Structure 1
């Protein structure tokens, strides 16, 4: 009984009362209060009164990391649970990744100018596939102020522990010193996601506050102002530190906007991947990405050429050549769209055929739209941009989110066994194609 009380109280603090049929009556609530008074009288502090502290660690590189840990025993107990390795790795695929290590960390952002296309799910699960099964050192940066990736891979309890702090170490900590005129941050605020196997720089809602800083300094950068150029390259500095720390892959999760934050991220990347759904809005998003990035790169080159002392800008920042690595399509239904329409009793046969044909036309047009809008960012003769499709696999996605575990390691029997097998096959296929395109780019 005593062990269950902190969990109920903790869920109440998160606003979860009522979830999963959990009901607390007035009488039972008074009982909880009495139990808390009893625990407190014995010197056992309730969860609501716990003072959590963060410890730091030192990296072996000259670039330091601030690695946050937790003293919560329940969190530590969860981290001891074994994580399945999934499908045995083909030695040739491991060799392909090993061959890339000579290049240093490869920075990739997952971006679409449209929401709801599975960006966060793809970043988390592909990162887990590389970390857990390929043995890669992966750093994932949650650069979306909504922080969905952080909540997914760390869980509610650990997320609460982070954001209860008045100044959590996060992606905001990377930009903040620059906004105060102190230059780039000297360390990376890295935290380990045990279940997913990778390191993460957690998201922060305060990142949205820095949008104006990046927007204002972008105007200065286009005119050759060194302050504006330095601000624009803040994420380039982050990637450079990640390379110094020996990471193999650096993934960025981003929001769907074409604003100042995402502009700075895209200009700092080696590659970008476009998660997408089969609809007309993804078609427009592809065009927007190609147009915006081309304009930004041209304006940045002009600004650097006008700078008073371009030598102050590291050559590696100036020589970035953003390349398109491929796209991943998201299937949202258990069955495909054609089957769903065919089963509908509300549509006449003629309208069913027109809708199905429109869906097929959009899907068939994607390769050409990719070539037309993003052709300047990849060599169509070298790489195959279609990295695969993440099909709808029933309830394994919400199960993965509730367990804060990658789909390839979800715990469960029955239907989850088959869904987990499918997830392992899907993410292994995407990972293999991802590495193949990296080696050929």
Structure 2
């Protein structure tokens, strides 16, 4: 492993689903790797595995022959889908035995000719890990990163988290330096943030040795799915202002990103769509550029 980097580990998380956390993880991660040439590792620990499905579709991968055959038929291709055994399952289960730790290639898929890698999610993860000791599961990502010196191998390690409080959430946050909270401009949107802050405090207070030499900081709130034309509408502006002035943000000193993540209809229509790798809608590419630059700034400031 190279000793060039001192990578930051950042979880994208909200206790409320459907807020765009997977899309943000993918789009910011790909821009960091593709245009800014940062070495990026994505980790998909959300049992819904939407991040994995998107990355696999974009770059032509599957985890089984059956899935590859199905993908080839759907895409009208002939054996172009590559099989990978890399899986978050191998990270979670490999933490059980110190005598037989998980090998890098059984966990991490390196995308050829890209500065991008992924630890893919796994279908049926909750069933597969049902008999695992919760302590082993919750320590697994932290241990895997430390044992393999992944902070020396990557500039950024971005984790896509589930929208529920579970051992997967704890595993992600125990390994993280920061977390980012995507929020839609909706009534009661801050309830998920309030719940998340309580979860984070609980994790920090019950796992103090893990955070003794590093913090677990809220990098900020990113308001998502804002339609460009709606930015001029009073209702949306009022909702955003309500979020900005909420007691939760002000009371805890949580930052609100200056740049919102704008709505792009292609993201919903096409799983293989990437803003940074396409002729994006008028506002999307400069919007992603500004948002990613702000993200880098805050992770650099510490």
TM exceeding 0.5: yes
Distance 1:136 1:247 in 2: 8
Q: Which has the higher contact order (CA 8 A, sep 6+)?
A: 2
Aligned match for 1:288, one of 170, 195, 203 = 195
| Superposed displacement of residue 422, structure 1 | 2.2
Match of 1:147 in 2: 49
Aligned CA RMSD, in angstroms, stands at 3.2
Match of 2:267 in 1: 397
Where do residues 15-26 of structure 1 align in structure 2 (5 Å cutoff)? Answer: none
Distance 2:59 2:298 in 1: 38
Is 1:136 the counterpart of 2:20? The answer is no
For normalisation by structure 2, the TM-score amounts to 0.80
| Superposed displacement of residue 181, structure 1 | 7.3
Match of 1:388 in 2: 259
| Superposed displacement of residue 255, structure 1 | 1.6
In 2 relative to 1, CA 371–211 (structure 1 residues): closer, same or farther, beyond 3 Å?
farther
Match of 1:371 in 2: 249
Distance 2:66 2:28 in 1: 29
| Superposed displacement of residue 147, structure 1 | 1.3
Long gaps (5+) in structure 1: 1-59, 63-100, 218-227, 305-315, 340-355, 379-383
Is 1:178 the counterpart of 2:95? The answer is yes
Match of 1:254 in 2: 161
Size of the aligned set, in residue pairs, is: 284
Aligned match for 2:108, one of 162, 169, 190 = 190
Distance 2:87 2:131 in 1: 18
Q: Which runs of 4+ in 1 moved over 6 A?
A: none
| Superposed displacement of residue 175, structure 1 | 1.0
Higher strand share: 2
Is 1:410 the counterpart of 2:285? The answer is no
The SS at the match of 1:258 is coil
- What do residues 51-106 of structure 1 show as CA deviations (whole Å, max 9, x unaligned)? xxxxxxxxx569xxxxxxxxxxxxxxxxxxxxxxxxxxxxxxxxxxxxxx66x110
Is 1:119 the counterpart of 2:21? The answer is yes
Long gaps (5+) in structure 2: 68-82
For normalisation by structure 1, the TM-score amounts to 0.57
| Contact 1:175–1:184 under 8 Å retained in 2 | no
Higher helix share: 1
Aligned match for 2:150, one of 229, 237, 243 = 243
- What do residues 344-363 of structure 1 show as CA deviations (whole Å, max 9, x unaligned)? xxxxxxxxxxxx65x55432
In 2 relative to 1, CA 183–327 (structure 1 residues): closer, same or farther, beyond 3 Å?
farther
Distance 1:285 1:373 in 2: 16
